[in-house]
Structure 1
Amino acid sequence: MIEFETWLPQIVGYCELVVDDMRLRQAWIKRDFSKTSVTDFDELYEQVFDDLDANYFAVNLYRYLPNSGRMTTGIADFIKMLQETDRVRTENPDLLDASLLLDSDQWRLVRNSAFAVLNAVKHEEGEK
């Protein structure tokens, strides 16, 4: 299993990707993968939940980050929003289209949760 010290920066990196609308559109719509290996939502989901075992860390965040309430909440919400988006896509096949997904209210929830993680990171760095 991946170590938490390796996992956390990778999750933050995925948050940075999610908030970078141009980079996602370049990869997911224009199919230009020069800036990311995340080729579509399914690949993002696989990398976060299979490769990084996000479900394990999600239930243990308070143990790993006992003094970081904002960070813990932000990461938990980001993981939850990715899971929710995966569920919503199965119920709404239009969202299988990357362009429609990236313009959807559901994706705005994912982006907002990613922004919250990045803001928590800045807050944590500001306290050091």
Structure 2
Amino acid sequence: MFSHVMVGTNDMARSKAFYDALFAAMGGKPGQEDPLGRVLYFHRGALFMISKPIDGEPATVSNGGTIGFGVASPEEADAWHRAGTENGGTAAEDPPGERNGSAGRLYLAYLRDPDGNKLCALHRLG
């Protein structure tokens, strides 16, 4: 359904260090800068990008928005969360763990990136 996700940042170096650590925790590679200065991450068939806003205005966060990253296991979700908090992100919502609801049994971990974007690592349990 989606072709890619891009978030804005006010500090490319800080954001790249943060997202490089998150993707490494999921077995991914560091982001690559394109000719326009955006940083691209290709992982598990998906594209995620960070960029300074094209209009030159400051990057802002989405109120109510969350970007979800699929992870392979609860351990990978925990590593993702740890990498985020050790690289400028902040824990958000409840601590990483199992949740049961209308979507079934899930293992979730939530973070805010250094610019305030809300992120989630999600693993579907049996």
Greater strand share, structure number: 2
Greater relative contact order: 1 or 2 (C-alpha under 8 angstroms, separation 6 or more)? 1
Greater helix share, structure number: 1
| TM-score (normalised: structure 2) | 0.28
| TM-score (normalised: structure 1) | 0.27
